[in-house]
Structure 1
Amino acid sequence: MTNPTATVRDLIREHYNNLTQSERKFANSLLENYPSAGLASITVVAANADVSTPTVARMVQKLGFKGYPQFHQALLKELQAKVSGPTQRRENWMTEAPESHLLNRFSQAVTQNLGQTFSNIDPNQFDAATRQLAHPNSQLYVVGGRISGSLATYAFTHFQAIRQRVTHMTSSSGTWPHYLLDMVEGDTLLLFDVRRYETNLLRLAELASERGVTIILITDQWASPVASVAKFTFNCWVEIPSAWDSNIATMMLLEALIAGTQEESWPETKDRYDRLDELFDMTRLFRKFS
C-alpha cells in the first residue's frame, strides 16, 4: 500500500534501486516530463517511453499501486493539487477535516510538513548547494514570485551579510533582462517558486540556464517546472488546513541553507560580520544596553 502523503515522484525515488532496466527507462521518461507523461493510457505512455505495457504495469505495482488506473488517478490528483487556488484548497481541507480544533490540526500538519521536507533532502545535494552558494567567484542572484518574494528578501538579507556579490532581483519581470545581461557562466540563481507556478520565473530560469548559470530551486512537494533546468531542487511540503499554503518548512530549509553557507566560508564570513557590526555601531542602528 502506498504512503498517502507521498507523491509518485517520491515513490519512484524510494523504489528506484529495485526497478529493472526497462522499468527505470519508463521511470526516467516519466520524471523528465512529470506528471503529464503518465496521464495518458497505459499503451500510450508505454509507447512514448519505448517500453512494453507489461513493463509499465510491473513498475506501478512495485510502487505500491494495485494497477495502472490507481497510478493514473494519483498523478491526476497531483496535477489538480498543483493548479488549485485558495478556495479549492480550503474546500479540500474542510471536506477532510477531522473534529479536532484547528490549532491541533494546524500543528499536526506543520509537523508532518517539516518531517517530510527534511527526510527527502539528500545531504550530498544540500552540501553541494551550500558550496555553490558560498562560492566567492560566483555572483549570487536571488528572486521569488508573488508570495515567495518575501522568502527571497529574507534570503538576500542574510546572504548579503555572509558574502560579497549578492543581487536581489526585483519582483517586476520587466526588469529581469537587465539582470540577465550581466549574468555569466558560473553565477548562481537562487529561485523560489511554489504553486501556482509563475510562467515568468520559468522563462527567467531557462534564459539563465542558457548562460551557464547554476540554478538552485526551492519549491513545493509537486515541484515547479523550473526543476527541469535547475541543478539543485529542494522540495518543501506546504499543505495546511487553510486556503493558503505554509512557508514554515520552506523557511526552515532556507535557514539551513543560510547556516550551511555561513559555515562553508566561515573565516571570511566572520570577518564580514565583525566589520558589519562596526558599521552598525557607527550608524547607531541598534540600541546599546550597558
Structure 2
Amino acid sequence: MGSSLADTAQEKIKRVYESLTRAERQLAGVILENYPMSGMGSITRLADKASVSTPTVARMVQKLGYSGFPDFQDALRIEVEARFSNPIAKHESWAQSAPEGHILNRFTDSVISNIRQTLANVDPKQFDDLTGMLADESQALYITGGRITHALSEYLHLHMQVIRARVRHIRSTSNAWPHDLLDIRPDDVVLIYDIRRYENSTLRLAEIAKAQGAKIALITDQWQSPISQYADVSLNCRIEAPSAWDSTVAMMLLSETLIAAVQEASWDRTKSRMSTLEDMFDQTKIFRKFV
C-alpha cells in the first residue's frame, strides 16, 4: 500500500501506538527520535539500533499500512522531499499536476482539505492541555514565530494580551530575541509557530527556553518542526496549497479556536479586562462611534 502526504508515517505510528507490542513500541520510539531520517537506513541497521529483530520491523511497518520496508522508506523519502522543497520547486511541481479549473476553486478545495485533515488529526486532549497552559495566568506566556508565521504569532499575542496578563511577544527574526529569554522562569509557557524550511533561530530559541525550564507549545505542519523534540504539546496543521507558498489558513483556524477556548476558560477575567480596555479606547477615541 502506498503512502501519501495526506497521512504521514509519523502520524500513523502515533495512531496505532497503543496497539503495538513492547518490542514494536521500542522500535517506534527509535523511529520517532530522529524522524524521518531514522528510517532511511537498512532494515538491519534500524533493527539493531532499536534492539529488535528484523521481522519485528517488517511486522510493524505492515501494521502502519505499508506493503513492506521498501514501501515505508519510499513514503519517508517523499516526506523528506516535501519538507525541504523551496518555493520555486513547489510551484513547478504544482504546475505540472494542477487539476483543471479556476485557481479560486483549486485553491479553496486545497485549503478546505487542509482544514478537514488538520481537525481530523488534532488530539482533543492535547488541544485542551494547550488551552489550560495558555489560560494559566500564574505562568508567563511567550509567543513567537518565524519569517512567515510571525504574523500568526502577532495575531495570537494581540488577543492573549486582552484575555490575560503576563504575555510577551518574541521577534525571533530579530537578533535581539535572546534578551526576551532573560526573564523566563520554570513552567513559563513558550508557544512557537514553525513550518517547513524550519528556522535555526527558532529551534535555538526553543532549546534555550527548554533548558530554562519553560514548557514548549508548538504549532507546526504535518511533517513536524525539529522543535517537536522539545515540545510538551504539539499541534500539527496541513499547509500544502497550489502555490509557491504554503497556506496557513488551517493554522489560523486553530489559532482562533484556541483564542475562543482560552477566553471561555477564563471569561470572568477576560470580561473585566475587555471592559477596562474599552474604557481606554473611549478615552483615547481610537475608534469612531456612530451614536
Q: TM-score, normalised by structure 1?
A: 0.97
> What is the match of residue 166 of structure 1?
167
Q: Is contact 2:224-2:236 (8 Å) kept?
A: yes
> What is the match of residue 137 of structure 1?
138
Instruction: Find out whether 1:154 has 2:155 as its counterpart.
Output: yes
Unaligned 5+ residue runs, structure 1? none
Q: Take 2:18 and 2:135, find their aligned partners in 1: how far apart are those partners?
A: 33
Measured after TM superposition, the shift of residue 172 of structure 1 is 3.8
Measured after TM superposition, the shift of residue 173 of structure 1 is 4.2
Q: Take 1:98 and 1:19, find their aligned partners in 2: how far apart are those partners?
A: 39
- Cα shift readout 1:222-259 (whole Å, capped 9, x = no counterpart): 00000000101110000000000001000000011111
Measured after TM superposition, the shift of residue 3 of structure 1 is 5.9
Deviates more, 1:3-12 or 1:66-75: 3-12
- Cα shift readout 1:18-71 (whole Å, capped 9, x = no counterpart): 322211211111112111110101111111111111111111111111111110
Deviates more, 1:26-35 or 1:268-277: 26-35
Q: Take 1:177 and 1:130, find their aligned partners in 2: how far apart are those partners?
A: 26
Q: Take 2:57 and 2:186, find their aligned partners in 1: how far apart are those partners?
A: 40
> What is the match of residue 280 of structure 1?
281
Instruction: Find out whether 1:177 has 2:187 as its counterpart.
Output: no
Partner of 1:246: helix, strand, or coil?
coil
Amino acid at match of 1:247: T
> What is the match of residue 254 of structure 1?
255
Q: Take 2:228 and 2:52, find their aligned partners in 1: how far apart are those partners?
A: 25
Q: What is the identity percentage for the equivalent residue pairs of Structure 1 and Structure 2?
A: 50
Q: Do the aligned partners of residues 3 and 73 (structure 1) sit closer, same or farther apart at CA in structure 2, a change above 3 Å counting?
A: closer
Measured after TM superposition, the shift of residue 289 of structure 1 is 1.2
**Number of residue-to-residue matches in the alignment:** 290
> What is the match of residue 243 of structure 2?
242
Q: Take 2:171 and 2:61, find their aligned partners in 1: how far apart are those partners?
A: 43
Q: Is contact 1:89-1:242 (8 Å) kept?
A: yes
Deviates more, 1:121-130 or 1:247-256: 121-130
Measured after TM superposition, the shift of residue 14 of structure 1 is 2.4
Partner of 2:175: helix, strand, or coil?
helix
Q: Is contact 1:173-1:200 (8 Å) kept?
A: no
Deviates more, 1:148-157 or 1:2-11: 2-11
Q: Is contact 2:154-2:169 (8 Å) kept?
A: yes
Amino acid at match of 2:268: P
Q: Take 1:16 and 1:109, find their aligned partners in 2: how far apart are those partners?
A: 29
Measured after TM superposition, the shift of residue 96 of structure 1 is 1.9
Instruction: Find out whether 1:201 has 2:199 as its counterpart.
Output: no
Measured after TM superposition, the shift of residue 103 of structure 1 is 2.0
> What is the match of residue 58 of structure 2?
57
Amino acid at match of 1:110: V
Q: Is contact 2:114-2:238 (8 Å) kept?
A: yes
Unaligned 5+ residue runs, structure 2? none
Partner of 1:100: helix, strand, or coil?
coil
Q: Is contact 1:2-1:63 (8 Å) kept?
A: no
Q: Take 1:72 and 1:3, find their aligned partners in 2: how far apart are those partners?
A: 10
> What is the match of residue 99 of structure 2?
98
Measured after TM superposition, the shift of residue 2 of structure 1 is 5.4
CA RMSD of aligned residues (A): 1.2
Q: TM-score, normalised by structure 2?
A: 0.97
Amino acid at match of 2:234: T
Q: Is contact 1:121-1:234 (8 Å) kept?
A: yes
> What is the match of residue 26 of structure 1?
27
> What is the match of residue 77 of structure 1?
78
